[in-house]
Amino acid sequence: MNNKVIIFSAPSGSGKSTIVNHILSLHPEMEFSVSATSRQPRGTEQNGVEYWFFSADEFRRRIAADEFVEYEEVYEGSFYGTLKSEVQRIWDKGNVIIFDVDVKGGVNLKKYFGDKALSVFIQAPSVEELRRRLVARGTDTPEAIAKRVAKASEEMTYADKFDHVLVNDDLQVAFREAEALVDGFLSD
């Protein structure tokens, strides 16, 4: 059974989802770990596709039932977590798991999976550029963008806890770097 996992973490707006989706499009043997969250769905998001959407009460009940590998209250009142059942579901199929989690979650998953895991920190060229990208993405309210930008500087300090730091300036260059990291890890 192939039980490798790949973890991508970054402050929100760095380009993590864009890079993860690119890698997934190249690798049919990889599967995205659908996290659980207590935040509201955004735009076209669907339950079971981008996230499992739970109420805060339901999320807390599942924490108490020890259903998570890891979870964080990433933003005040908004929980996010990796369900043990999701990891098992993907491994049962023999697929490689790809995670898109916040920086603390990324560090915790790396500790949990050890050498089975490749952890990559995606870094925007600057906090100002990250803010511009969140505004251009057009999916968050000004308040949500302000919360995310305010958190980014502290989150950047986690970069050295990852196996690799990938600077996402020119997207095509970042794609090539991500591909090389993933291919190197999978061929080991």
Query: Which residues bind to ligand ADP, rule: CB under 6 A?
Result: 10, 12-18, 133, 136-137, 168, 171, 174
Binding part of the chain for ligand 5GP, among 56-64, 68-76, 89-97, 127-135 by CB under 6 A, reads 68-76
- Nearest approach, Cβ of 15 to ligand 5GP (angstroms)? 12
Could you say whether residue 80 binds ligand 5GP (CB under 6 A)? yes
Query: How many CB atoms are located within 10 Å of the residue 56 CB?
Result: 13
- Nearest approach, Cβ of 122 to ligand 5GP (angstroms)? 10
The count of residues interacting with ligand 5GP (CB under 6 A) is 13
Question: What CA–CA distance (Å, rounded) separates 19 from 83?
Answer: 22
Could you say whether residue 102 binds ligand 5GP (CB under 6 A)? yes
Among 4, 12, 90, 120, binds ligand 5GP (CB under 6 A): 12
CA-CA-CA-CA torsion sign (103, 67, 48, 179): positive
Instruction: Identify what 133 binds: ligand ADP, ligand 5GP, none; CB under 5 to 8 Å per kind.
Output: ligand ADP
Could you say whether residue 101 binds ligand 5GP (CB under 6 A)? yes
Asked whether 19 and 122 are in contact (CB, 8 A), the reply is yes
Among 100, 120, 122, 182, binds ligand 5GP (CB under 6 A): 100
Written as six digits, the tokens of 5 are: 């996992």
Closest CA to 104 of 58, 60, 157, 167: 157
Written as six digits, the tokens of 98 are: 């790809």
Instruction: Identify what 105 binds: ligand 5GP, ligand ADP, none; CB under 5 to 8 Å per kind.
Output: ligand 5GP
Written as six digits, the tokens of 94 are: 């023999």
Query: How many CB atoms are located within 10 Å of the residue 93 CB?
Result: 10
- Nearest approach, Cβ of 11 to ligand ADP (angstroms)? 7
Helices and strands, counts by H and E, the chain: 7, 9
Asked whether 64 and 78 are in contact (CB, 8 A), the reply is no
Applying CB under 6 A, which residues contact ligand 5GP? 12, 35, 39, 70, 72, 74, 80-82, 100-102, 105
